[in-house]
Structure 1
Amino acid sequence: MDQPTTPLAEKRESALSVWALPTLEGCAVLLYFSRDAFAGVFRYYASLTHLDALWFVPDLFAFACVAAFTYRYAFKQGNIIAILLVLYTIFALFLGWVFLGETKGLASSMKMIAPAFVGFCFCGREFKDQKLLLNVIYFLFFASMIGIFWSAHSRLPWVAFSYESFGATRTAARLWWTGGESRISGFAADSTMAAYFVLITYVFTSIRKSVLWCLLWAGPALYAIQVSTNKTALGVLVIYIGALLLVRAFDERHRFAALRSLALWSFTCLLVPPALMLAFSGTNLGRVAKSLYSLQDRINNSWQLPFVYMNDLMPLGYFTGCGLGCFNYPQQLFSNKVSYYVPVDNFYIGTYLMFGPIFVLFVVFVIMAVARTRDIYKLTAIFVMNFYTITVLGYGPASGLLVITMAFSEVFGKASPLPRANRNAMTPPPQLLKVASG
């Protein structure tokens, strides 16, 4: 029987939990977030001190999460979706090896997909329980903004630094390819990553902050992202702030239902690329406005060309997918088909290419799982990432992929339909909503 607790005991327990070690998946997220947010700094000084191997420490935790996921949900729980996911991932790795034609490509594809299982391991686990991780995310929010502002006024030594990965040399671009603007990377390796961390750390921190805090820090966050020149992150943050204020406008009893509805409706973002291709394919949007040239490139090239090339490279891929790494950075860096490489700037299109039509069925199950998800962090992440990934692939940095799969994770949970009389039990208690909504 549980012992009765006093307010003093609860306060002491809460203080101790801040320093409690995170779970395996929590440790992996902490390591990935810390590494990717300071990727530029880390790469530069690790290279100078010949400690480049430390870059792969988070990946070791990710592979441990692959094993943990397989044991927890495929073997122990016997979840059919988890079993099929593990088996098809192995098959997709084989297809990817055939498609890429190089062993290095296979190794890169394995490293690419491992962070997905970090997020999946959050099934049945509340993100709010990761107290230490949430405090680190709070720190990264301010650090990411400071890095961008500092980088905007100083030439930091790690900017445009070249480094090797699996024998391939990579360099972060300093100029925006469509406009020639300087791209500000802050402490991260590039501007996209810097802007992403301002966005995602603001989102995770704001969930349990007051409206006043959210409005107070929205301005600096928006300005930091604008300085980084990342228009996708800027637009998504504006949408998120609007959604946050809308949810907070509801009575406490209805806020959770409003959040879940927004999360479910955000899946309509999947229809945006097909709608834009139908409406504007072949249209010279750059003539209308210079800022629309990147969108024109996505409509005419990024979202369509991979399917055209599939006919020449692997026609079977229309039914099975072309395997892990195809039309992703493993193909760009380690493949004899690099001449066919096209950056696919959309998470759902990019993942569909790799896994094939079975991914559509998986997304259907994800949507059904979101309808019963109770974790406000996961629901918020679904909403934000569905908008963000309209024009972003999301597989690099790894922190983007694990946030997406963390939001998807309840698809592996046990569905337990409740009798009509007990449906009110699915609504979180007012205390939780009050803390969560500010």
Structure 2
Amino acid sequence: MTILALHRPRITLISLNIEAIALGVYLVRDAFGGVIRYYTSIYHVDPLWYLPDGVALLCLAQFFVHCILRNRSTLALLVLVQIMLSLVLGYLFMGTMNAAISSFKMMLPVFVGFCFCDSSLGSYRKLLSVIAVTFYLSVIGVFLTKFYLMPWVGYKYESFGAVREAGRLWWAYGGDDQRLMGFAADNTMAAFFILVSFAITSIRMSTSWCLIFGSIAIYAIKLTTSKTTMIVLVLYLVLLVFVRMLPEKSRFPAIRLIAQWSFAAIFVPFFMIVVASGTAAVPHSTLFSIVDRINNSWQLPFVYMNQLMPIGLVTGCGAGCFNYPQKLFSPLAHFWVPVDNFYIGTYLMFGLPFAAFMVMVFRATFGATDVYKLTLIFVVNLFTITVLNYGPASGLLIIALSFSEVFSRRAASARAGDAVPIVMRPPVPSLEGFRPDIPAASGSR
């Protein structure tokens, strides 16, 4: 929402910024998922689809070396152990090896995002260029699919023995609005990539650029019929203008405060359940989808969990449960329901340890100095009210990146003793005229 570029020294497993490479290849693969799935399949180079997962394995090693060994973060070690135990628990719950492998692959992007813990996204100049190009092409893709039927729409492919569609033509309730997916694999993700890539790119751009291209992005998202994404982007633009109207010294504190208050969105589903649970969902009405989430998506998983594994209400049922690994690869697939909320879906898998982790994430925002991470916290907290965001992988990666400050050297030092002060770095005092040719801290970025 404003401009801040912090350049801290990075200790990496190898000389390249492997986390930036991983984010870049995940973003390109998923933002153009419909296109890439179609052409890798018809040209029989399907293994290329899994290239980002191979890079993510290196990030898993880097997370262990940098966050656990170098930063001596006890929390990082606990999170790694918890994820591994949850993978085992998920295998026992879902009952198949394919489900376990799919769950492991599903969790890999988390470690990519966590590897950004001691760096600012603003210091990766080449990566920011990739993100900006992704924004422009994603918008163009949505406009193109409004007028042309793309060859990947309705194309089916096989993955781990399960049949999926790279893209499918949807129509919104009412019958007149086509759900366009652009180059992505579905309309929600097309809208998500426009939202996230715009939010990241706008930090470096003038207010005029933000208003012009923000308006274009809103219209493109409207064509995807993703109401949640459109609301989030409109609110983001309003707050962006508001923050840039503030005195210079007040802008960064305002951004941090907005990010912190966005965590209140976690409780929105529970509030809506209390207020509107039991309300009849009228088909083809504007509120049908949200009422269906209130009555089914946000409640039924806990009912089924209580039947299948009561202790899971506390411990979680393991990585992959009530997520796409269970839907595609488990004998318990008939118990699967879409869990359209990131925090509810993650709690179902990891239980109370996830709640404790989120307390630490919230605490870390008080010492956060990276405007990119704070901006993404606001965006993902609001977006995930009605979206699980575990697939495609870039969605989960962006969430992990926004939470990564909790594993930083500064946060680890602060947790080592409450008396250790958190040293704040002031933001760069410029809003307009920022150009991407500002030298980065490292020549490799």
Matches within 5 A, 1:37-52: 37-52=31-46
Q: Which amino acid aligns with 1:263?
A: A
**Aligned-partner Cα distance in 2 for 1:429–1:27:** 26
**Aligned-partner Cα distance in 1 for 2:172–2:156:** 18
Q: Which amino acid aligns with 2:260?
A: L
Q: Which moved more, 1:174-183 or 1:90-99?
A: 174-183
| Alignment RMSD | 2.1
Q: Which residue of 2 aligns with 1:309?
A: 304
Q: Which residue of 2 aligns with 1:402?
A: 397
Q: Which amino acid aligns with 2:206?
A: S
Pairwise CA distance, 1:435: 4.0
Q: Which residue of 2 aligns with 1:17?
A: none
**Aligned-partner Cα distance in 2 for 1:191–1:139:** 19
Pairwise CA distance, 1:229: 1.3
After superposition, give the CA deviation of every residue in 1:72-123 in whole Å (9 maximum; x if it has no partner).
Answer: 1123322110010011111100110011111000000000000011000000
Q: Which residue of 1 aligns with 2:145?
A: 151
Aligned with residue 253 of structure 2, among 239, 253, 257: 257
Query: Is it true that 1:220 corresponds to 2:233 in the alignment?
Result: no
SS of 1:277's partner is helix
After superposition, give the CA deviation of every residue in 1:345-399 in whole Å (9 maximum; x if it has no partner).
Answer: 0000000000001111100000000111100100000001000000000101111
Is the 8 Å Cα contact of residues 244 and 431 (structure 2) preserved in structure 1? no
Q: Which amino acid aligns with 1:355?
A: F
**Aligned-partner Cα distance in 2 for 1:434–1:286:** 50
SS of 1:164's partner is strand
Query: Is it true that 1:412 corresponds to 2:412 in the alignment?
Result: no
Q: Which residue of 1 aligns with 2:190?
A: 194
After superposition, give the CA deviation of every residue in 1:223-243 in whole Å (9 maximum; x if it has no partner).
Answer: 111111111111111111111
**Aligned-partner Cα distance in 1 for 2:433–2:77:** 38
Q: Which residue of 2 aligns with 1:134?
A: 128
Is the 8 Å Cα contact of residues 255 and 433 (structure 1) preserved in structure 2? no
Pairwise CA distance, 1:179: 4.7
SS of 2:150's partner is coil
Q: Which amino acid aligns with 1:427?
A: P
Aligned with residue 242 of structure 2, among 226, 241, 246: 246
**Aligned-partner Cα distance in 2 for 1:419–1:311:** 39
Q: Which residue of 2 aligns with 1:279?
A: 275
Change (3 A) 1:128 1:157: same
Pairwise CA distance, 1:409: 0.3
**Aligned-partner Cα distance in 2 for 1:265–1:329:** 30
Matches within 5 A, 1:171-182: 171=165, 172-176=167-171, 178-180=173-175, 181-182=177-178
Q: Which residue of 2 aligns with 1:300?
A: 295
Pairwise CA distance, 1:182: 2.5
- TM-score, with structure 1 as normaliser: 0.91
Query: Is it true that 1:203 corresponds to 2:203 in the alignment?
Result: no
Matches within 5 A, 1:368-407: 368-407=363-402
**Aligned-partner Cα distance in 1 for 2:247–2:366:** 20
Pairwise CA distance, 1:427: 2.5
Is the 8 Å Cα contact of residues 172 and 179 (structure 2) preserved in structure 1? no
- Higher RCO (Cα < 8 Å, 6 or more apart): 2
**Aligned-partner Cα distance in 2 for 1:329–1:423:** 40
Q: Which residue of 1 aligns with 2:74?
A: 80
Q: Which moved more, 1:243-252 or 1:164-173?
A: 164-173
SS of 1:430's partner is coil
Is the 8 Å Cα contact of residues 367 and 422 (structure 2) preserved in structure 1? no
**Aligned-partner Cα distance in 1 for 2:430–2:99:** 50
Q: Which amino acid aligns with 1:44?
A: Y
Q: Which moved more, 1:91-100 or 1:170-179?
A: 170-179
Is the 8 Å Cα contact of residues 323 and 338 (structure 2) preserved in structure 1? yes
Pairwise CA distance, 1:269: 0.3
Unaligned residue ranges in structure 2 (runs of 5+): 1-14, 436-445
Q: Which residue of 1 aligns with 2:10?
A: none
**Aligned-partner Cα distance in 2 for 1:222–1:52:** 34
Aligned with residue 357 of structure 1, among 329, 352, 360: 352
**Aligned-partner Cα distance in 1 for 2:423–2:433:** 17
Is the 8 Å Cα contact of residues 32 and 398 (structure 1) preserved in structure 2? yes
After superposition, give the CA deviation of every residue in 1:385-425 in whole Å (9 maximum; x if it has no partner).
Answer: 000000000101111111111010010123356999x9885
Pairwise CA distance, 1:286: 3.0
Query: Is it true that 1:344 corresponds to 2:339 in the alignment?
Result: yes
Change (3 A) 1:202 1:164: same
Is the 8 Å Cα contact of residues 298 and 345 (structure 1) preserved in structure 2? yes
Q: Which amino acid aligns with 2:426?
A: T
Q: Which amino acid aligns with 2:115?
A: C
**Aligned-partner Cα distance in 2 for 1:147–1:48:** 21
Q: Which residue of 1 aligns with 2:320?
A: 325
Is the 8 Å Cα contact of residues 262 and 383 (structure 1) preserved in structure 2? yes
Is the 8 Å Cα contact of residues 252 and 434 (structure 1) preserved in structure 2? no
SS of 2:170's partner is coil
Change (3 A) 1:179 1:358: farther
Pairwise CA distance, 1:431: 4.6
Is the 8 Å Cα contact of residues 281 and 292 (structure 2) preserved in structure 1? no
Greater share of helix:
1
Query: Is it true that 1:166 corresponds to 2:160 in the alignment?
Result: yes
**Aligned-partner Cα distance in 2 for 1:125–1:98:** 37
Pairwise CA distance, 1:426: 3.6
Q: Which residue of 2 aligns with 1:28?
A: 22
Q: Which residue of 2 aligns with 1:15?
A: none
**Aligned-partner Cα distance in 2 for 1:295–1:236:** 16
- TM-score, with structure 2 as normaliser: 0.89
Q: Which residue of 2 aligns with 1:427?
A: 426
Pairwise CA distance, 1:306: 0.5
Unaligned residue ranges in structure 1 (runs of 5+): 1-20
Is the 8 Å Cα contact of residues 172 and 225 (structure 2) preserved in structure 1? no
Is the 8 Å Cα contact of residues 159 and 185 (structure 1) preserved in structure 2? no
Pairwise CA distance, 1:136: 0.9
Q: Which amino acid aligns with 1:125?
A: S
